């Protein structure tokens, strides 16, 4: 996909992702290039919430690139559509470093039903 096709394909939609070394999560890219979601590094430990500011992801020529504070370079990505609801993103020059993204259904964005736990009534206190 070129950068404009990728923009139309991903903006505002929720995606789950799994990366080559086991990292996984879910997130959404907003029209301003900000990103918010959850990440589980290397597939272990708790999922952590991450939010990145506007212009983190941006179109640079024909590429989609990321600007991350503290990173010594601005990585750009090759995006390959793998189905009507999924794509693979890999870093330019590092094809082995990729993540597979699949769009979540609109119903998944509504949320999951809460699991309710029974509450035990407090013992009746005698009145004085």
Q: What percent of the chain has pLDDT over 90?
A: 35
Query: What is the sign of the dihedral through the CA atoms of 83, 84, 85 and 90?
Result: positive
Q: Does 102 have pLDDT greater than 90? A: yes
- Which tens digit of pLDDT belongs to each residue from 22-48? 999 999 999 999 999 999 998 888 899
> Which parts of the chain fold into alpha helices (H)?
3-10, 106-110
Q: Above 50 in pLDDT, residue 16?
A: yes
Q: Is the pLDDT of residue 126 over 80?
A: no
Q: Could you tell me the pLDDT band of residue 112, with boundaries at 50, 70 and 90?
A: very low
Residue 127 has pLDDT above 80, yes or no: no
- Length of the chain (residues): 128
Would you give the DSSP letter of residue 31? T
DSSP type of residue 73: S
Q: Domain 3-110 carries which CATH code?
A: 2.40.128
CA distance 42 to 77: 20
Report the DSSP beta bridge partners of residue 90: 78, 98
């Amino acid at each position: 996909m070129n950068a404009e096709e990728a923009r139309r394909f991903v903006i505002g939609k929720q995606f789950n992702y799994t990366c080559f070394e086991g990292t996984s999560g879910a997130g959404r890219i907003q029209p301003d290039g900000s990103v918010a979601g959850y990440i589980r590094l290397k597939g272990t430990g708790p999922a952590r919430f991450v939010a990145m500011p506007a212009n983190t992801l941006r179109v640079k020529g024909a590429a989609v690139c990321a600007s991350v504070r503290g990173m010594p370079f601005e990585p750009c990505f090759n995006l390959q559509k793998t189905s009507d609801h999924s794509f693979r993103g890999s870093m330019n020059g590092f094809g082995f470093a990729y993540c597979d993204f699949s769009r979540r259904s609109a119903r998944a964005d509504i949320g999951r039903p809460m699991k309710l736990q029974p509450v035990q009534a407090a013992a009746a206190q005698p009145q004085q």
